[in-house]
A and B are shown apart, each in its own frame.
Chain A
Amino acid sequence: MKDALVNFVDISKSYDGQLILDELNLYIRENEFLTLLGPSGCGKTTTLRILGGFEKPDKGHVFFEGKDITELPPNKRNLNTVFQKYALFTHMTIAENIAFGLKIKGKTKSYIDDKIKYALKLVNLDGYEHRMPDSLSGGQQQRIAIARAIVNEPKLLLLDEPLGALDLKLRQDMQYELIRLKNELGITFIYVTHDQEEALTMSDTIVVMNQGYIQQIGSPEKIYNEPENAFVADFIGDSNIIGATMIRDNLVEILGARFACVDTGFGENKPVDVVIRPEDVMLVEEGKGTIDGVVTHLIFKGVHYEMEVMANGFEWLVHSTKMHEVGSKVGISVDPFNIQIMNKPASEDEEAAKLDE
């Protein structure tokens, strides 16, 4: 952990007796695009606010570049935040907004003017210096908020659901903007969102959180393809999560039928959860798959068809470019590589506690 830019050590925080974070430990490497992902109330925003200095943890310490910054006020931290709903200063022009941090630091006028020009160019809003924030669209205001933060050349940029208030198209454009900015500036981004697609698109590392605990840390591919538990599998994308029994290494019994798989080390005849992504369920001719079923729902989604197939008492979610009419009988087959086996948690609490270790 020598190269860690930020290090959270045993952070606990509760509001009104409700535990939000429970002994959270997390380190963030320099130059990383790290996303804290989870449903609302999972503690992701609180984690960010503790790092920004707007909340004090009840217990634990935050280290930044090796120094303990737990007690440091926000204005003494070498990082900047892009807030939800932009938080621009509505009584100032765009130029004054961007110049705010630099003026406080006592930079010269020519330096500030250069920086404003540079920052507006970076976010593709040249010529907006004298506009007022209210006259800008949501996407433009968000880019100004980013410009206002990055002119201060922080080591670390915190983004608290910055795209939450934007419509879908704009959000997708802004995602590419953010990746571009990150690469151009070479600063570490910590991004908070509940939108799994956003997280998968932009991040180097995703931290999935739930109920104040970290559920899984990993690259987007790893999180999507190899979720460690049912929560992660369910939260990231669509999935079929089915209770199953691990017969022995490389063989799992799902809904009474035996499927070949590639996982080992779960023991013999152990109850497990399996995750099969809908796009990995292959529909074949009746009798040619591992199990047979009947198509019960069919929806056209544009890129693919979404179908539900009733087979062995379970409604399988299937994405396929090939259409099967409702009522048609099909066989289900899954590539062994696409069956992800997960330990079965005895209870929800245990699930959370176990993963925090």
Chain B
Amino acid sequence: MNKKLLSAPFLFWSALFIIIPLCMVFYYGLTDQTGAFTLENIKAIATPEHSKALWEAIKLSVISTVICFFLAYPLAMILTGMSTSKNSLIVLIFILPMWMNFLLRTMAWQTLLEKTGVINGILSALHLPALKIINTPSAIVLGMVYNFLPFMVLPIYNVLVKIDPNVVNAARDLGANSVQTFLKITLPLSVPGIISGITMVFVPALTTFVISKILGGSKVLLIGNVIEQEFTQTGNWHLGSGLSIVLMLFIIFNMVISAVTDKDGEANAL
């Protein structure tokens, strides 16, 4: 009884800010201007401009997730191998940018990468060719990797520190060299963390519209930008909601696949 009472604020919160908005998204997504039921808003994803934006978003977020993974895994392994006193400094350096506002960080990159930005200023002072990266997909990938990398490192680090060092020693003891030990023991045992990291990077990267807006200008349109435009500029909430539902279903579909792969459900705990 007491415990139920304690959950009341959260239940109130989720009803007000999660359940009701979600119902509204479904209502708008499945009706037209007159309020009649329609699937047109869902089907709209098939139009070339929308499917191109979705495809572009998937492409960039997959690339960012892969880059994050290859940056994060070795880092997590190094952190695992260190004593707590040494690694806390590195973790701090790593987490430090996360304490700053997400928008601010992204805008900082804009200032750095601009045609007349800091990096190009230095390059031209050195008589080097200017960097033409702003307003390209590369800039967006850079922004995504920069912003989401910690979300890949932490879950992987969490599973790696939980692996008993003697399990690794046992593999060495049984004749496996360090590469074999990594491939057969460490990597498979860290799968829950990897899945969790991929989810935590891929999902926000897929749905972002801020990074693509700031670093991609209006040149690169991702599905997030399309949805945002429908709500804020065109004012077509029905279409925006319809596209949101498609995106949501796509993410749920991916989560289900990863949940099936991750039988132990360990990733969910992180």
Interface residues of A (CB under 8 A from B): 52-54, 73-75, 80-81, 83-85, 87-91, 100-101, 104-105, 145, 148-149, 152
Contacts and interface: CB of A to CB of B under 8 A. Distances in A.
Interface in B183-198: 184-185, 188-189
Given A81-B169, A84-B166, A100-B176, 11 more contacts: A54-B169, A75-B172, A83-B166, A85-B164, A87-B164, A88-B167, A91-B189, A101-B174, A101-B175, A104-B180, A105-B175
B67 interface: no
Interface centre among A75, A83, A145 (most CB of B within 10 A): A75
A54 B180 CA distance: 17
29 contacts: A53-B172, A54-B169, A54-B172, A73-B172, A73-B177, A74-B173, A75-B175, A75-B176, A75-B177, A80-B174, A81-B173, A83-B166, A84-B166, A85-B166, A87-B166, A87-B167, A87-B170, A89-B167, A89-B171, A89-B185, A100-B176, A101-B174, A101-B175, A104-B174, A104-B175, A105-B175, A148-B170, A148-B174, A152-B175
By Cβ-Cβ distance, the 3 closest A-B pairs, closest first, are A101-B174, A87-B166, A74-B172
Interface of B: 164, 166-167, 169-177, 180, 184-185, 188-189
B164 A81 contact: no
A54 B188 CA distance: 22
A110 to B, nearest CB: 20
A313 B235 CA distance: 98
Nearest to B169: A54
A74 B168 CA distance: 11
B186 to A, nearest CB: 11
Contacts of B173: 52-53, 74-75, 80-81, 149
Given A54-B169, A85-B166, A104-B180, A91 B174 contact: no
Given A87-B164, A90-B189, A81 B176 contact: no
Contacts of A87: 164, 166-167, 169-170
A80 B170 CA distance: 8
A141 to B, nearest CB: 12
A296 to B, nearest CB: 47
B175 A91 contact: no
Query: Which of B172, B177, B189 neighbours the largest number of chain A CB atoms within 10 Å of its CB?
Result: B172
A105 B175 CA distance: 7
B188 to A, nearest CB: 5
A45 to B, nearest CB: 11
A163 to B, nearest CB: 16
Which label, helix, strand, loop or mixed, suits the secondary structure of the A interface?
loop
Contacts of A105: 175
A104 B180 CA distance: 8
Contacts of A84: 166
A152 B171 CA distance: 13
B17 to A, nearest CB: 39
A73 B170 CA distance: 12
Nearest to A91: B188
B189 to A, nearest CB: 6
Nearest to A83: B166
Contacts of B172: 53-54, 73-75
Contacts of A100: 171, 174, 176, 184
A104 B175 CA distance: 7
B266 to A, nearest CB: 11
A139 B185 CA distance: 23
Nearest to B170: A87
A70 B172 CA distance: 16
A275 B2 CA distance: 62
Nearest to A52: B173
A84 B165 CA distance: 11
Nearest to B176: A104
Contacts of B185: 89
B221 to A, nearest CB: 42
Contacts of B189: 89-91
Contact of A81 (B170, B177, B184, B188): B170
Contacts of B169: 52, 54, 74, 81, 83, 87
A94 to B, nearest CB: 14
Nearest to B189: A91
A75 B170 CA distance: 9
Contacts of B171: 89, 100
A101 B169 CA distance: 13
Contacts of A73: 172, 177
A89 B172 CA distance: 12
B163 to A, nearest CB: 10
A81 B175 CA distance: 11
Contacts of B166: 83-85, 87
B73 to A, nearest CB: 17
Nearest to B164: A87
B9 to A, nearest CB: 37
Contacts of A53: 172-173
Contacts of B164: 85, 87
